[in-house]
């Protein structure tokens, strides 16, 4: 007879297996190892490990050139465009994927390189005078071939001094011309040139030379203002102050007349050209004087260092060292103010308005002027011949 307790007793438990049914609770029959804890699930977020995702360890130490692959080959393609793998993939393990190249690996022609530099070198720098040939024109200017990669352009206002009404007649094609570069080449390689600027530069140089030589020039009065009259000289605008005119009180009436003038100021930087009609008389007198010439004048001033002598519109200086070869204690031992004398010219400086005189060269024995002045003055013409020979000898020795 079976007891009810036996009917209610469950079946004996089975030993747990690795592939037991889900939800079965294993019964410990002995020491059991703790169950492993499940690893957390990685979330697909920007915080993921970049080393695992991009394999950064594989590209460590490579440069941008290694990543881009080899340079395009000389036949016009690159390793990538030809379907070849980058050089980094072709390099054996442990070798650098970057291949060193030498100068010999490049096509380099030194002569062709220098020729290219010469061909593209800029032609004409500001202030440079260049030769050219007229090759064309427009209504606003002229094109001139000056040897550059582009022609030079000369605006109509820069084509010359004065007003030019017909460019085609003044600048026919093929005309050789000399111009001044006023602006260096632009992005198109064209330079701006000027015939007017060159003419003005040459005019200032000529005027400076005339001033240096103390020349008297003829100008025509073409205008006036409160301060004086204006004129034209070598294409430059000159000004004559009223105080430097012989008829300054009625200077308006001088318009259209031609005057002889000398230079007071010549300054190309400030464009000042100041002239004087009164100084022209002095300059004209200077033009008649030369070294070795015997002149006669009157003592108009006595200074501690010598005498100023009026020579007829100009003054000469008889320095104390040139009066006599003897001992001179006081200048008035030789001459007095208002006294007439004869002397030799030993130097002429028209630009500075200076004339150097000498009476010691007219002496026989040194100091003769102090004891026989009348004799020296009376025989001055004959003695001047001997003195000129002495002056020429001194010039030769100095030269």
Neighbours of 88 (CB within 10 A): 19
371's tokens: 């004891």
pLDDT at 22: 45
pLDDT tens for each residue of 174-231: 999 988 888 877 777 788 989 888 989 999 999 999 988 878 899 999 999 999 999 9
Q: pLDDT: is 232 or 18 the higher one?
A: 232
Q: 132-146, 270-284, 337-351, 381-395: which range is least confident on average?
A: 381-395
pLDDT at 61: 66
- For domain 214-283, the CATH architecture is Beta Barrel (2.40)
- Please, which pLDDT band fits residue 282 given cuts at 50, 70 and 90? confident
DSSP strands (E only) in 156-289: 176-183, 192-194, 217-225, 228-233, 236-241, 258-267, 272-276
Closest listed residue to residue 189, CA positions, set 144, 138, 143, 152: 152
Percentages (nearest 5) of helix, strand, coil residues in the chain:
30, 25, 45
**Average pLDDT of every residue of the chain:** 77
pLDDT at 385: 86
Q: Is the pLDDT of residue 328 over 70?
A: yes
- Which of 25-39, 71-85, 277-291, 364-378 shows the highest mean pLDDT? 364-378
Question: pTM (2 decimals)?
Answer: 0.48
Q: 159-173, 197-211, 385-399: which range is least confident on average?
A: 385-399
Give the CATH number of domain 129-199; options: 1.10.760.10, 3.40.50.2300, 3.30.750.24, 2.40.50.140: 2.40.50.140
- Pair 257, 246: CB distance under 8 Å: no
The string of DSSP letters for 90-148 reads: HSPTTS-SPPP--GGGS---HHHHHHHHHHHS----TT-EEEEEEEEEETTEEEEE-SS
Sorted by where each begins, the domain ranges of the chain are 129-199, 214-283, 288-398
pLDDT at 230: 95
Mean pLDDT of 379-398: 82
pLDDT at 37: 47
Q: pLDDT: is 198 or 42 the higher one?
A: 198
- Pair 180, 194: CB distance under 8 Å: yes
Angle at 293 between CA 287 and CA 298, to 5 degrees: 85
Q: Where does residue 174 fall: left (phi above 0), alpha (psi -120 to 50 degrees), or beta otherwise?
A: left
Q: Using the Cα atoms of residue 333, residue 335, residue 338 and residue 339 in order, give the sign of their dihedral.
A: positive
pLDDT tens for each residue of 48-57: 555 566 556 6
What Cα–Cα distance (Å) separates residue 208 from each residue in 230, 233, 267, 274? 19, 12, 8, 12
- Which of 87-91, 195-199, 297-301, 309-313 shows the highest mean pLDDT? 297-301
pLDDT at 21: 43
- For domain 288-398, the CATH architecture is Beta Barrel (2.40)
């Amino acid at each position: 007879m079976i007891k009810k307790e036996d009917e209610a007793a469950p079946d004996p438990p089975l030993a747990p297996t690795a592939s037991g049914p889900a939800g079965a609770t294993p019964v410990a029959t002995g020491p059991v190892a703790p169950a492993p804890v499940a690893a957390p699930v990685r979330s697909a977020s920007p915080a993921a490990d970049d080393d695992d995702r991009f394999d950064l360890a594989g590209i460590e130490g490579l440069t941008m050139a290694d990543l881009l692959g080899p340079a395009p080959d000389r036949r016009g393609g690159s390793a990538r465009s030809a379907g070849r793998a980058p050089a980094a993939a072709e390099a054996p393990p442990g070798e650098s994927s970057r291949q060193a190249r030498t100068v010999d690996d490049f096509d380099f022609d030194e002569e062709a390189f220098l020729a290219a530099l010469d061909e593209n070198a800029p032609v004409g720098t500001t202030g440079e005078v260049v030769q050219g040939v007229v090759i064309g024109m427009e209504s606003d200017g002229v094109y001139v071939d000056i040897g550059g990669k582009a022609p030079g352009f000369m605006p109509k206002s820069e084509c010359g001094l004065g007003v030019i009404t017909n460019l085609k007649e003044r600048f026919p094609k093929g005309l050789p011309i000399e111009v001044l570069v006023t602006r260096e080449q632009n992005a198109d390689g064209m330079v701006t040139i000027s015939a007017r600027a060159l003419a003005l530069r040459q005019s200032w140089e000529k005027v400076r030379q005339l001033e240096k030589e103390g020349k008297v020039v003829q100008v025509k009065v073409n205008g006036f203002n409160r301060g004086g009259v204006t004129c034209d000289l070598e294409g430059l605008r000159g000004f004559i102050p009223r105080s430097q005119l012989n008829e300054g009180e009625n200077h308006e009436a001088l318009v259209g007349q031609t005057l002889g003038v000398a230079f007071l100021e010549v300054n190309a930087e400030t464009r000042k050209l100041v002239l004087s009609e009164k100084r022209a008389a002095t300059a004209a007198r200077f033009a008649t004087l030369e070294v070795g010439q015997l002149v006669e004048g009157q003592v108009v001033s006595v200074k501690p260092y010598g005498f100023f002598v009026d020579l007829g519109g100009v003054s000469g200086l008889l320095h104390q060292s040139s009066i006599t070869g003897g001992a001179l204690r006081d200048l008035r031992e030789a001459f007095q103010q208002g006294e007439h004398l004869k002397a030799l010219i030993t130097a002429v400086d028209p630009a500075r308005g200076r004339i150097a005189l000498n009476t010691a060269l007219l002496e026989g024995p040194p100091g003769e002027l102090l004891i026989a002045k009348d004799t020296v003055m009376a025989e001055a013409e004959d003695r001047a011949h001997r003195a000129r020979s002495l002056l020429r000898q001194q010039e030769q020795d100095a030269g």
